[in-house]
Amino acid sequence: MAYYKKIVGEKCYLSPCSLGDAEKWVEWFNDLEVTLPLGDEAYTPFSLPKTEESIEYIIKQQDHVFSIVDLESDICIGRTLLFNIDHINRQAMFGIFIGEKLFWGKGYGQEATRLTIDYGFNLLNLNSIMLGVMAFNERAVHAYEKVGFKLIGRRRQARIVGGQKFDVFLMDILAEEFDGTLLKKYARG
């Protein structure tokens, strides 16, 4: 599978997603260990034909969805995206997951988050990027805080899983709070 280095970090790079990613997405989205911390994905069975259809739509619409690819091995390890983009108010929602468990806890999620946020602020000219994260997903909350996201609210008992009720944290980051050094190297002047 050919990937394209749209935005490159030290550990990983972001590549436009491709139809060849479908089998991996199906594997990851049907793995509860991957999807329970995400939310809605855990409740939905994913098939290969439906996932291929979704990826074809993403490609056709030129949505801001990227494969996260390990820089050393060129293995696709996850997905990141900006969605619900509002160009008038210059804001968007952010989502990410690392599906390949061998890459968990090694800083890939944090770096891919930073790359996506840099893309949003410095290429899409956004001013505010927000996310929702399950309160029990402490690893993700910590990674988001290291990138610069701040807690702005809590939806109490917003998710019920296995009879247990969980809060969802709302976090955001503003362009002025983010040091987007990655894309500055391409700017002239």
Catalytic pick among 3, 108, 119, 144: 144
What percentage of the chain exceeds 90 in pLDDT?
83
Could you write out the DSSP letters of every residue in 114-147? HHHHHHHHHTS--SEEEEEEETT-HHHHHHHHHH
The beta strand positions in the chain, using DSSP E, are 7-8, 12-16, 64-70, 76-86, 91-98, 128-134, 150-161, 164-174
Average pLDDT over residues 40-69: 91
Tell me how many domains the chain contains.
1
Are the CB atoms for 9 and 182 separated by under 8 Å?
yes
Please indicate whether residue 186 is annotated as part of the active site: no
Average pLDDT over residues 35-59: 87
- Write out pLDDT tens, residues 129-148: 999 999 999 999 999 999 99
Question: Domain span at residue 34?
Answer: 7-130
Q: Does residue 158 fall inside a structural domain?
A: no
Statement: residue 108 has pLDDT above 60: yes
Q: Does residue 188 fall inside a structural domain?
A: no
Statement: residue 186 has pLDDT above 70: no
Q: Does residue 155 fall inside a structural domain?
A: no
Statement: residue 15 has pLDDT above 80: yes
Q: Does residue 2 fall inside a structural domain?
A: no
Supply the pTM of this predicted model: 0.93
- Which domain CATH number covers 109? 3.40.630.30
